Amino acid sequence: MGYPLQGKRALITGASSGLGLAMAEALAEAGATVILTARSAEKLETAVACLVRRQLDAHARVMDVRDEQSIAAAVEEVRRRWGGLDLLVNNAGIGMRTVNPDFLSEPQPFYKVSAAGFRDLIDTNLTGYFLVTKAFVVLFLEQGRGKIVNITMNHATMRRKGFVPYGPSRAGTDSLSLIMAEDLREANVQVNMLLPGGATETGMIPEEHKETIKAQFGLLNPAVMADPIVFLASKASDGLTGERIVASEFPEWLRQREL
């Protein structure tokens, strides 16, 4: 999709693999400078090295979305090295397997989820979005413009048996995003949501279940996020805020809006 992004600066959390890496690659291929962040320095450096070998403008920054000092240090590096930011993509998250490794075959009721497991997932998937946006939005307010994309999931996931706390974390993402959009509307900062539109072939799905899910339901390639994230980073999406875009339905969404 032809939306040139030369001169745009984007930062993506949870970008060492899966959806985050796919979006980073798409943005860099469109000409953007892309800062990939994640907790694991090793995985991050490997991912960035692959992009750099293709002469893409990609950079690594270790950052923990649960740690305010880690986030603040990243904000200052972005300010110092790139002078600001045009797009923030909140994507870092952990899945159900952190509280129940067998969540697909043996879903467990919410009352069997440990308090520690619940807090850890919410701290990453929901509070992390809040902390990162709260810190980076300062750059957008200084510039008088900016774009934020929060990655979320299907509404069915928010109601699925055995999906506490992942479902609540993403329901919270939707509400948080809509309120952010209203809070920032007059500041010329747009906030939108993007979701794949189905189960996606990422590390959140245990390897032992991937083939079964593929056979029964199919698995989306993370590259499904490429066209919509490039669109959301581009001038074509200027003024668009509070939208919830399903990546697998993106061409039809565009057609209906004649964008």
Query: What is the Cα–Cα distance from 56 to 184, expressed in whole angstroms?
Result: 31
* Of 175, 84, 174, the residue nearest 137 (C-alpha): 84
* Residue labelled with tokens 């009352």: 111
Query: What is the Cα–Cα distance from 134 to 180, expressed in whole angstroms?
Result: 10
* Residue labelled with tokens 């960035």: 48
- Backbone region of residue 11 per phi and psi (left: phi > 0; alpha: psi in -120 to 50; beta: other values): beta
With a CB cutoff of 8 Å and minimum separation 6, the contacts of 241 are: 181, 184, 185, 190, 191, 192
Catalytic residues: 166
The DSSP annotation for 226-259 comes to HHHHHHHHSGGGTT--S-EEEGGGHHHHHHHHT-
